Chains A and B, each alone.
Chain A
Amino acid sequence: MQEKEVIIIGGGAAGLAAAVACKQKGIEDILIIERGDYLGGILQQCIHDGFGLEKFHTSLAGPEYAQRYVDQVVDKKIPFLLNSLVVSLTLQKEVIVINYRGLQHYRAKVIILAMGCRERTRGAISIPGARPSGIYTAGVAQELINLKNYMVGEKIVVLGSGDIGLIMARRLTLEGAEVITVAEKLPYSSGLPRNINQCLYDFNIPLLLSHTIVDIEGNGRLSGVTIAQLGERGGIIPGSKRKIACDTLLLSVGLIPENELSREAGVVLDNITGGPQVDERGQTNIPGIFACGNVLQVHDIVDNVSLEAEYIVEGVTEYLEGKLIKEREIKVELGEGLRYVVPQTLCRLKDTIFSFRVNHPGEKKILIFEDGKKVIKKKFLRRVNPAEMVRVKLSSSEIEEVKTLKVKLV
């Protein structure tokens, strides 16, 4: 059994930023454990640009953004394992890793969960029909095209308007494929407006809102899908079904934080985010186990992943110094208009960044923090969109005297 101060599970955007921040805070004994054969995670296949505007004040492609952190990890000589799978994580913060050298046992004072997400698949959304080849999740198609030099198809339908699906619609078009349409079940897109603009409108790809796929055909290879329009209550509108001939279907229907290890260790998860329930510095219910990045909550902008990772490292440092003392326990209550809030509990008096997603798109909304009938803070939001995470900071003085805390959007 090898002892470590900090073990970071996952070498993607969150894990790398956490590692660099730990080192900067003077923590020496760090180990990053990465399942894949390179650092940087999903960033390496996100070859489009637009990353880093907040963090580096310039527009970078995903691999460029990743390299800025990989370089720091290498310069600072932070140890990392590649092709190494964590197969077990315990309450005692013991980690079992399997790789080409066999099994290794570690025990750490702190575990940082940074495993990211995986994609929802056809099974998760139960599309009926045949089971031909040619059906990919958008991220898998992205990996095949951008890293493996494998073109997925020629006539494409995309289901779901998440950002990866939109980005892939453009990417496939530029690689010579025909993207026939992007269908979205909801009456609004789940991707960022700028991506709808530059990935669909730029190439005249129609976005069909309130539409879904109700049948899949193909013997061997996909030959077509049937789409239908959905009514206000989500039911199929009679007579709206139509067939579209295509050879490839991409699914961009959401991400699932990969928390199997967290659950095994006894970390309590939030039903809505799918990530751990945490305090103001990302600590889970298990002292010394922290979480950041997409494993905590699905982010739309990688800069916020890096910032979140740096932010929770403050808690990590305090924990290692024995200064992380639970002063109180206030559950953050979720009011109307909001889908979730992170953190879910406040344990100490700290400046705290709250992250939210709203339930529906809207304009001129007010986000209200209240303690019983007393309003703690109000923030005007010109425009809200479920695709865009809202982040609001409350200073320690603002939450100093609260006994309860509820947030709502009106």
Chain B
Amino acid sequence: MEREFICIICPNGCRIKVEYEGTNIKNIKGDECPKGKYYVKNEITNPLRVFTGSVLVESGDFSLVSVKTLSPIPKKYLKKVGEITRRIKVDAPVEIGQVVARNLLDNNIDLIATRKIEKKKSLLS
């Protein structure tokens, strides 16, 4: 089978032409760095993506904190993780890298914060 992939690893967006059978790459062209082959390998076996979204924050200086999965997750879980994030709420303050949810979908999917949220300052203090 022959297919062209657009690599999403970096903004170069290499167009990679691949000839493969099942999950076995027979010929690969257009990958300008080693990440390209790794990306294609994943695409034909188990496509992975980093999920990014946001969850509610209680008493923070912003009402939402942005989050991402600690590592790329199978593409098929993206929408399900999106549904879950709509129900999660965390308390301020939140630090970048702080784990806000663990083991989603029983699949070792952890969400970490990508934004620093401080506690809302009281006008009286």
Residues of A within 8 A of B (CB): 44, 47-50, 53, 59-64, 67, 145-149, 171, 173-176, 192-194, 196-198, 202, 300-301, 383, 388
Q: Which residues of A contact B13 (CB under 8 A)?
A: 192-194, 197, 388
Report the bound CA distance from A149 to B78 in whole Å.
Answer: 20
Q: Which residues of A contact B6 (CB under 8 A)?
A: 193-194, 196-197
Query: Least Cβ distance of A42 to chain B in Å?
Result: 13
Query: Least Cβ distance of B77 to chain A in Å?
Result: 11
Contact A176 B62 (CB under 8 A): no
Report the bound CA distance from A114 to B82 in whole Å.
Answer: 35
A47-B54, A64-B115, A176-B82 known; A149 and B64 CB under 8 Å?
yes
A67-B96, A173-B79, A300-B11 known; A149 and B56 CB under 8 Å?
yes
Report the bound CA distance from A197 to B53 in whole Å.
Answer: 18
Does B49 make an interface contact (CB < 8 A)? Answer: yes
- Per a CB cutoff under 8 Å, which of A63, A173, A202 touches B115? A63
Interface residues of B in 1-52 (CB under 8 A from A): 6-8, 10-11, 13, 15, 49-52
The total of chain B residues at the interface (CB under 8 A) is 30
Report the bound CA distance from A194 to B10 in whole Å.
Answer: 8
15 extra A-B contacts, CB within 8 A, seeds A49-B114, A64-B114: A44-B115, A49-B52, A53-B11, A59-B50, A61-B68, A63-B114, A64-B115, A145-B54, A146-B64, A175-B53, A175-B86, A194-B8, A194-B11, A198-B49, A202-B78
Q: Which residues of A contact B49 (CB under 8 A)?
A: 198, 202
Contact A49 B11 (CB under 8 A): no
Q: Which residues of A contact B75 (CB under 8 A)?
A: 202
Encode B64-107 as 1/0 by CB contact (under 8 A) with A: 10101000000100110111001000000000100000000000
Contact B82 A63 (CB under 8 A): no
Contact A67 B115 (CB under 8 A): yes
- Per a CB cutoff under 8 Å, which of A53, A63, A147, A300 touches B10? A53
Q: Which residues of A contact B7 (CB under 8 A)?
A: 194
Does B63 make an interface contact (CB < 8 A)? Answer: yes
Contact A67 B116 (CB under 8 A): yes
| A-B residue pairs in contact (CB < 8 Å), sample of 10 | A47-B114, A60-B114, A62-B66, A63-B96, A174-B53, A174-B79, A175-B82, A194-B13, A300-B11, A388-B13
Contact B15 A383 (CB under 8 A): yes
Report the bound CA distance from A173 to B8 in whole Å.
Answer: 19
Contact B82 A48 (CB under 8 A): no
Report the bound CA distance from A255 to B60 in whole Å.
Answer: 31
Q: Which residues of A contact B116 (CB under 8 A)?
A: 63, 67
Q: Which residues of B contact A60 (CB under 8 A)?
A: 114
Query: Least Cβ distance of B11 to chain A in Å?
Result: 5
A47-B52, A47-B114, A148-B63 known; A174 and B11 CB under 8 Å?
no
A148-B63, A198-B8, A383-B15 known; A47 and B115 CB under 8 Å?
yes
Query: Least Cβ distance of A308 to chain B in Å?
Result: 15
Report the bound CA distance from A193 to B30 in whole Å.
Answer: 15
Q: What are the 9 tightest A-B residue pairs by CB atom distance, in nearest-first order?
A: A47-B66, A174-B82, A61-B114, A63-B115, A193-B13, A194-B13, A194-B8, A197-B6, A149-B63
Report the bound CA distance from A173 to B75 in whole Å.
Answer: 13
Q: Which residues of B contact A53 (CB under 8 A)?
A: 10-11
Q: Which residues of B contact A176 (CB under 8 A)?
A: 82-83, 86
Report the bound CA distance from A148 to B62 in whole Å.
Answer: 8
B11, B49, B86, B96: most-surrounded residue (chain A CB, <10 A): B11
- Per a CB cutoff under 8 Å, which of A67, A147, A174, A193 touches B15? A193
Report the bound CA distance from A36 to B99 in whole Å.
Answer: 28
In the complex, which residue of chain B has the Cβ closest to the Cβ of A50? B11
In the complex, which residue of chain B has the Cβ closest to the Cβ of A196? B6
Q: Which residues of B contact A62 (CB under 8 A)?
A: 66, 114
- Per a CB cutoff under 8 Å, which of B8, B10, B11, B81 touches A197? B8
B79, B83, B114: most-surrounded residue (chain A CB, <10 A): B114
Report the bound CA distance from A48 to B11 in whole Å.
Answer: 14
In the complex, which residue of chain A has the Cβ closest to the Cβ of B56? A149
Q: Which residues of B contact A301 (CB under 8 A)?
A: 11
Q: Which residues of B contact A171 (CB under 8 A)?
A: 53
Contact A146 B11 (CB under 8 A): no
